[in-house]
C-alpha cells in the first residue's frame, strides 16, 4: 500500500493539473512528493500520515499570528454563524477600510478585493486610467500575480520552473511592460529621461520576496519616488507580502517612502482570501462607480474572510508583537548561518521583520542576477533533508520564508538541530 501522501498525490494528478492548484506546491523544483496537510496549530502542521512539521511557509505569509489562533477562529465562527456571504455592504468592510487607512501611511481610500493578483491588476489599471498613459515599469524577479501584463520576467513560481514569462500573454500586451533590474536606480533614471511621458506607473515589491528575499539598496526606493513625482507617474508598492510583515505599516512605514497606490493581501485575510488596493484619494476616485476605471467582485469584502483579517490585524497591533517575530527571524537566520559555517558550506541568510531569506552563496543577493548565482541543487538537497526531519521550508530556492508569533525558542532549537544534519547531507 502506498503511503498516504503518495496516494493522495496520485489521485490529485488524475484530476488536477500536476496535482496542485498553485504551481510551486507540486515540488517539481525540489523533487519528491508534497505532503498533504490535514491540520495546523501555532507554528506546526500535520500531514495526512500524522507527521508534524515546524512551518516556515505560513501559508506563504498570511499566518503571522500562527495557525488556528483562538481569537481568529472565534471571529470566523461568529461571522459564519451570521452569514457566509451577502454580496452587499457590511460594517466589517467599513472597519477593514478604516483599519487599513489608519495603519498604512499612504492610504486615503481603499477598495477590497479577493486576491493579490486582483489587487495588482486593479492598481495598474488605475495608474493607466489616471494618467492616460500605457507603459508600466516592473523589475526582474518581482512577482505581482498572474495578470497578463505583469507576467514578464516574473519571480516566484515562474522562476522555479525556468520560464520567467508565460505562454498565453500576447506580445502586444507584454510590449507595454518595461522590465528593469531591481536595485538599479541609474536604469530607472535613464528610462524616465528617455520615456517619462509614456510611463503610467512603476510597480515594485519594496522588499522583494518572490526571488527569495532581496532588500532594497539604500536610495533605490527613494529614486523611484523621485522619478515618478518628477514625471507624473504612479508609484505602486506591492505590499501583498510585506504588509504587516516588515512593520505594522508595511515597508512604506519602515523606509519612510509614500507610494501613490499600495496593494495588500495575505495578512489582511488572516488565512482567508482578502486583498486590497488603496492610496491617494484623487487616484482612487477614478475607480467605478465614481470614475471610469472598472473593477468588481462578487465575493469582495466577504464577511467571514474579513472577520479573520480584522482579528489578525488586532493581534499584529498589540505591543511587542512585531519585536517578537523580528527577533525570532533573526535568531533563526543567525543560527542557520552558524551551522552552515560549521559545515564549511557557502551560505548566507538575512531577515527583515518576520520575513527571511536563505541563500547558498557567501553573501545575500542584491539583484535577480545574484539570486541566480545561488547553488539551487544544494538548496534542494538541504530542503529534502530538512523536510525529512520535520522542518517545512518553501519548496523553492526562490521564495522568502516566514516566521509567526507562535514560533518559540524550542522550535528554533529543533530547526537548528535538523539543519546541522541537513547541511552535512547537502555538502
CA atoms of 263 and 298, how far apart (whole Å): 19
SS3 281: helix
SS3 17: helix
* C-alpha dist (Å) from residue 194 to 123, 197, 219: 24, 9, 21
Ordered strands of the 199-204 beta sheet = 109-113, 275-279, 261-264, 234-238, 199-204, 135-139, 177-180
Give first-to-last CA distance, the chain, whole Å.
34
Beta bridge partners of 134: none
DSSP state of 252: H
Q: Can you tell me which residue has the cell 529621461?
A: 193
Name which of 303, 309, 278 is nearest 119 in CA terms: 278
Dihedral of CA 101/131/128/198: which sign? negative
SS3 138: strand
187's CB contacts (< 8 A; 6+ apart) are 180, 181
**Catalytic residues, which ones?**
143, 238, 266
56's CB contacts (< 8 A; 6+ apart) are 332, 356, 391, 392, 393, 394, 401, 402, 403, 415
DSSP code per residue over 159-196: HHTT-SS-TT--HHHHTTEEEE-TT-HHHHHHHHHHHG
H-only helix segments in 48-115 = 70-82, 91-103
Q: Can you tell me which residue has the cell 517539481?
A: 28
Asked if residue 213 lies in contact with residue 151, where contact means CB atoms within 8 angstroms, the answer is no
Look up residue 84 and give its three cell numbers. 457566509
Amino acid at each position: 500500500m502506498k503511503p498516504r501522501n503518495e496516494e493522495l498525490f496520485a489521485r490529485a494528478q488524475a484530476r488536477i493539473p500536476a496535482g496542485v492548484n498553485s504551481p510551486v506546491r507540486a515540488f517539481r523544483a525540489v523533487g519528491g512528493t508534497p505532503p498533504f496537510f490535514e491540520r495546523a496549530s501555532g507554528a506546526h502542521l500535520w500531514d495526512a500520515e500524522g507527521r508534524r512539521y515546524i512551518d516556515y511557509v505560513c501559508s506563504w505569509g498570511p499566518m503571522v499570528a500562527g495557525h488556528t489562533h483562538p481569537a481568529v477562529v472565534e471571529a470566523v465562527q461568529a461571522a459564519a454563524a451570521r452569514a457566509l456571504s451577502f454580496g452587499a455592504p457590511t460594517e466589517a468592510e467599513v472597519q477593514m477600510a478604516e483599519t487599513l487607512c489608519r495603519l498604512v501611511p499612504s492610504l486615503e481610500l481603499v477598495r477590497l478585493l479577493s486576491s493579490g493578483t486582483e489587487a495588482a491588476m486593479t492598481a495598474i489599471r488605475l495608474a493607466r486610467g489616471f494618467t492616460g498613459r500605457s507603459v508600466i515599469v516592473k523589475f526582474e524577479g518581482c512577482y505581482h500575480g498572474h495578470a497578463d501584463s505583469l507576467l514578464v520576467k516574473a519571480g516566484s513560481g515562474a522562476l522555479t520552473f525556468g520560464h520567467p514569462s508565460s505562454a498565453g500573454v500576447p506580445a502586444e500586451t507584454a510590449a507595454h511592460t518595461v522590465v528593469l533590474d531591481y536595485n538599479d536606480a541609474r536604469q530607472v533614471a535613464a528610462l524616465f529621461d528617455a520615456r517619462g511621458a509614456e510611463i503610467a506607473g512603476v510597480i515594485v515589491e519594496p522588499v522583494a520576496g518572490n526571488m527569495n528575499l532581496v532588500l532594497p539598496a539604500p536610495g533605490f526606493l527613494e529614486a523611484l519616488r523621485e522619478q515618478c513625482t518628477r514625471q507624473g507617474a504612479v508609484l505602486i508598492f506591492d505590499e501583498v507580502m510585506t504588509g504587516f510583515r516588515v512593520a505594522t505599516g508595511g515597508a512604506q512605514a519602515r523606509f519612510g517612502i509614500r507610494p501613490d497606490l499600495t496593494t495588500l493581501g495575505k495578512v489582511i485575510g488572516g488565512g482567508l482570501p482578502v486583498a486590497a488596493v488603496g492610496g491617494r484619494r484623487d487616484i482612487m476616485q477614478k475607480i467605478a462607480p465614481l470614475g471610469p476605471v472598472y473593477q468588481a467582485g462578487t465575493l469582495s469584502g466577504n464577511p467571514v474572510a474579513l472577520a479573520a483579517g480584522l482579528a489578525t490585524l488586532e493581534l499584529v497591533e498589540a505591543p511587542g508583537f512585531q519585536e517578537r517575530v523580528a527577533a525570532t527571524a533573526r535568531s533563526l537566520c543567525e543560527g542557520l548561518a552558524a551551522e552552515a559555517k560549521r559545515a564549511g558550506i557557502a551560505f548566507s541568510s538575512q531577515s527583515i521583520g518576520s520575513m527571511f531569506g536563505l541563500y547558498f552563496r557567501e553573501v545575500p543577493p542584491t539583484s535577480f542576477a545574484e539570486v541566480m548565482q545561488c547553488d539551487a541543487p544544494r538548496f534542494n538537497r538541504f530542503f529534502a533533508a530538512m523536510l525529512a526531519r520535520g522542518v517545512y521550508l518553501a519548496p523553492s530556492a526562490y521564495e522568502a520564508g516566514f516566521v509567526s508569533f507562535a514560533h518559540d525558542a524550542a522550535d528554533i532549537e529543533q530547526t537548528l538541530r535538523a539543519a546541522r544534519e541537513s547541511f552535512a547531507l547537502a555538502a
